[in-house]
Structure 1
Amino acid sequence: MKIALTSLFVDDQRAALAFYTEVLGFNKRHDIPLGDDFWLTVVSPESPDGPELLLEPAGHPAVKPYRDALAEDGIPLAQFAVDDIEAEHARLTSKGVVFTQPPTDIGTAFVAVFDDTCGNLIQLIEMKPDENHADAH
């Protein structure tokens, strides 16, 4: 079993597609009309056959209170792995992305959180190399 698709509720699918492709750098995989909405997915250019992210319409009545509560508590709805969090923070900041948490050392990794402009907080994570040896200090 493997993860093939996960979804993220977005306020506006077209604005989300623009942000996730033009700003974050994902590639559009599917854009299929479904009534008034779309089956709209993006993938990482680093893993084009990997898991897809569905940019799902946030119209269901349960979505707004759920997302509002998480945002109020600063809880990200998705996490994306990066190789160099400082470089990614600088790149995204230069494109106008607003970070609610700058790159922060949490011990085993560095994390940062930004607003995706579509109603979600997204966390970036850079895992530290696994050190299997004891610290000399």
Structure 2
Amino acid sequence: MRIHLLSVFVDDQDKALRFYTDVLGFVKKTEVPLGEDRWLTVVSPEDPDGTQLLLEPDRHPAVKPYTSALAEDGIPVASFAVDDVHAEFARLRERGVLFTQEPLETGPVTTAVLDDTCGNLIQIVHSK
């Protein structure tokens, strides 16, 4: 068994697609119209057949209270592995990304937390 898909609820699929591709560097994998919305996924360009991230509309009534509570408490909804948190932090900050946690070394891992502009906090992490 392996993880095939992870959903991230977003307030605007077009805005989310721009952020996750143009800013973070993922690539669009799937786009299928579904009424007002789309089945819209991105993947890492380093692993195009790997785990997909579904940019899922946040219309369900339970989503906004859930994502708002996580964001208010500073809890990331997802964690993305990077080779060097400090380098990725600098690259993304130059692109205007807002971080809620600057790089922090905690034992064998370094993490930072960014705002995806779509209602979520995302953690980037690397292990020593």
Pair in the same fold by TM > 0.5: yes
- Show the counterpart of 2:119: 119
Amino acid at match of 2:5: L
The answer to whether 1:30 aligns with 2:30 is yes
Deviations along 1:101-129, one digit per CA (max 9) or x if unpaired, are 0000011200000000000000000111x
2:11 maps to: 11
Counterpart of 2:57 in structure 1: which amino acid? P
Per the alignment, in what secondary structure is the counterpart of residue 122 of structure 2? strand
Within-5 A mapping of 1:1-137: 1-128=1-128
CA distance in 2, matches of 1:71, 1:8: 13
- Which segments of 5 or more consecutive residues in structure 1 lack a partner in the other structure? 129-137
- What amino acid is the match of 2:82? V
C-alpha separation between the residues in 2 aligned to 1:48 and 1:127?
A: 23
Larger radius of gyration: 1
What RMSD, in angstroms, separates the aligned Cα atoms of the two structures?
A: 0.5
Query: How many corresponding residue pairs?
Result: 128
- Report the identity percentage: 66
Highest relative contact order (Cα 8 Å, sep 6+), 1 or 2?
Answer: 2
| C-alpha deviation, 1:5, in angstroms | 0.7
SS of match in other structure, 2:76: coil
Q: Whole-Å Cα distance in 1 between the matches of residues 6 and 70 of structure 2?
A: 18
- What residue identity is the alignment partner of 1:125? V
Scaled by the length of structure 1, what TM-score is found?
0.92
SS of the residue aligned with 1:66?
Answer: helix
The ranges of structure 1 where at least 4 consecutive aligned residues each deviate by more than 4 angstroms after the TM superposition are none
